[in-house]
Amino acid sequence: MKHYGSGYTPNELLRMELAILDKLHWDLYIGKPLDFLTIFHALVAVGWPHVVELLPQRNPSLHVASLTKQLQHCMAGHQLLQFKGSTLALVIITLELERLMPDWYAPISDLLKKAQVHINFVPDQALSFVP
């Protein structure tokens, strides 16, 4: 019995679907980097409302659009594709907060806690992330 003229039987289609689900570890929603960027931006805006006043044109939507362009540029670099989308989004948000405000450590620390990322931070030294 053919299914919708595809040339495959219903059992063959089911087997292919199961193989795909197995490769995805049955996780049908895999977060995209833009999803993480939007969520992280919203967490900062809600948790630290004064940050919105520091944004160019004080418009969070335009700011996310600008950060989205940065994210797209990062993802165009093949070397950066080795990193998780959530990591790229966190780095972009972190660098942007550092650029916007002198007291950047508190909102970044809060965001990393909410994202369940543990860091070892020593002032004047590089950050090291612990999974």
pTM: 0.65
Q: In which domain, by residue range, is 18 found? A: 1-28
- In 12-59, DSSP assigns E strands to none
Run of H or E including 119: strand 118-120
Q: Do 74 and 20 share a structural domain?
A: no
Contact 67, 51 (CB under 8 A): no
Number of structural domains the chain divides into: 2
Q: Do 38 and 19 share a structural domain?
A: no
Q: Do 4 and 38 share a structural domain?
A: no
pLDDT per residue of the chain (131 residues) written in tens, 0 to 9: 444 556 778 888 888 888 887 876 776 666 788 889 999 999 888 888 888 888 877 788 888 999 999 999 888 877 877 888 888 899 899 899 888 888 888 888 888 888 887 666 555 555 555 54
Contact 10, 16 (CB under 8 A): no
Q: Do 83 and 37 share a structural domain?
A: yes
Q: Do 10 and 49 share a structural domain?
A: no
Q: Do 6 and 45 share a structural domain?
A: no
Q: Do 74 and 117 share a structural domain?
A: yes
Strand partners, 129: 119
Q: Which residues of 71-98 are buried (b: 16+ CB within 10 A; e: fewer)?
A: beebbeeeeeeeeebbbbbbbbbbebbe
Strand partners, 44: none
Q: Do 106 and 44 share a structural domain?
A: yes
Q: Do 106 and 61 share a structural domain?
A: yes
Q: How many residues does the chain have?
A: 131
- Give residues with Cβ within 8 angstroms of 74, minimum separation 6: 80, 88, 92
Q: Do 40 and 24 share a structural domain?
A: no
Q: Do 49 and 1 share a structural domain?
A: no
Q: Do 74 and 119 share a structural domain?
A: yes
